[in-house]
Amino acid sequence: MADRAFARWKDGGVMGADTALARLSPDEVLELLPQQEPFRFVDEILEVDEEHIVARYRFRPEADFYRGHFPGDPITPGVILLESLAQVGVVALGIYIYALRYGRDGVKTRIALFTDANIDFSGIVKPGERVTVTARKTFFRRNKLRSEASMALEDGTVVCAGTISGFGVER
Amino acid sequence: MTRDEIFAKVVEIVKPFVKNEDALAAVTDDTNILEDLKVNSARLVDIILNFEDEFDIEVEDEDADAVNTVGDAVALILEKLS
């Protein structure tokens, strides 16, 4: 299904006369983020514009995955760090860019699917730590968004960085 | 640049995204990028961007829509270069 959707290269968006283009605030972007507990890894968006985004998240010590990753020695799984990068650098930044082109309603009828990533991990995140995710748009074409994203601890240590991409499809 | 040279470069650009190596080994103008080479369609954007960088051309989205086969890509690039 998804691949068929991808194959429809043309924007599904209809640029109708009543499409109100919207410059969303950071809080509005957060509100439109479809991922919810227990799979939301963004607490607040500090900055967002057409080129970049900065957001924060504190990893909840009570998160279920720490029980198994690893028993008695909890660290945040790399895939969860990657998910956080993607929720900020692809989904949230994508929502902002989409709203500029298709309006709020255009955002609500689409969902971002992960397409590819190339990430280096260089540090670990312990339960309870707060991270800052920064992402800068590489390109947005044909509904595909690619960003350079990185995650840093409060002392500035970068724990992971690289490129992530996603594709907007109609729900 | 000759047509053969463009063809070879197109194949080189597409190669990293190909999931069917056998189809790539037997590639012709008629080879379909998505269906034969099994390229993930979300990667078509990457391929078009790489065409732009490699050949120093600009490909409009409408032009890119017409690219289904390797031969289509070669023809489009030839047209843009001329």
CA dihedral B26, B28, B31, B33 (to 10 degrees): 90
- For B17, half-sphere exposure in the C-beta direction (CA atoms, 13 angstrom radius) is 23
pLDDT category of residue A142 using cuts at 50, 70 and 90: confident
- Assess whether pLDDT exceeds 70 at residue A3: no
Beta carbons of A167 and B44 less than 8 Å apart: no
Summary mean pLDDT of chain B: 95
Please give the residue of chain B at the shortest CA–CA distance from A117.
B43
Phi then psi dihedrals of residue B68, to 5 deg: -115, -40
**Probe site for chain B from A9, A111, A114 (most B CB atoms < 10 A):** A9
Q: Which residues of B touch A3 (CB under 8 A)?
A: 40-41
Higher pLDDT, A133 or A171: A133
Q: Which residues of B touch A116 (CB under 8 A)?
A: 42-43
How far is Cα A147 from Cα A164, in angstroms, rounded to an integer? 6
Cis (ω within 30 of 0) for the bond into A38? yes
Q: What is the pLDDT of residues A64-123, one digit of tens each?
A: 999 999 999 999 999 999 999 999 999 999 999 999 988 988 898 888 999 999 999 999
- Assess whether pLDDT exceeds 50 at residue B34: yes
Q: Which of B34, B42, B65 sits opposite A167 (nearest CB)?
A: B42
Number of domains in chain B: 1
Beta carbons of B65 and A10 less than 8 Å apart: yes
Give the residue numbers spanning the domain of B52.
3-81
Q: Which residue has the tokens 């509904």?
A: A143
Which has the closest alpha carbon to A6: A166, A118, A130?
A166
- In B1-82, alpha helices (H): 3-14, 21-25, 44-55, 61-65, 70-81
Q: What is the pLDDT of residues A35-65, one digit of tens each?
A: 999 999 999 999 999 999 999 999 999 999 9
Name the β-bridge partners of A58: A130
pLDDT of residue A12: 41
Q: Which residues of A touch B41 (CB under 8 A)?
A: 3, 6-7, 9
Could you give the 3-state DSSP secondary structure of residue A91?
Answer: helix
Domains, in order of start, for chain A: 2-10+21-170 (3.10.129.10)
pTM over 0.90: no
